[in-house]
Amino acid sequence: MKRSLFTSAQDAENAFYEALEKADLDAMMAVWADDDDIVCVHPGGMRLAGVEQVRESWRQIFAGGNTLHFRVRHLRSMDGMTFAVHSLYEQIAVAGDSQTRHPVVATNIYMRTENGWRMFAHHASPAPASPDSENRRGKVLH
């Protein structure tokens, strides 16, 4: 598999969401660092660590056959010379159900490597129905 060279963290993030929408496992894994320290947490899921666990999780998601559409909103990014942290809301819709959107809050962490920018962590959790509703404080665990 030929690895793409992502010249910025935003390029890597764009490729990440494109791979998600296309359910393209090779394109998805091209975004991730080839490192056993990578971490992925899908909404409601356990922490997955290492290339094998992360790859298998995406393979299972893509094998489900659902075509997902993402709308990224309220991106906040903290960019440095070697690391970038993106905090955002994902509005996820399943093809054929344009009425239902599943809100998710996500944090994506990228690192600049000798092979360009790569994802090192993706952590996604269910979110309030709207980013505006996060101002209404509910039960907070920490």
Q: What is the pLDDT of residue 132?
A: 57
What residue ranges do the domains of the chain occupy?
9-128
pLDDT in tens, 27-54: 999 999 999 999 999 998 999 999 999 9
Q: What is the pLDDT of residue 140?
A: 47
Number of residues that this document lists for the chain = 142
Q: What is the pTM of this model?
A: 0.83
pLDDT in tens, 94-117: 776 565 667 889 999 999 999 899
Q: Domain 9-128 has what CATH class?
A: alpha beta
- Centre a 10 Å sphere on the Cβ of residue 104 and count the other Cβ atoms it contains: 18
Q: What are the structure tokens assigned to 49, written together?
A: 């660590």
CA 8, 80, 120, 106 torsion-angle sign: negative
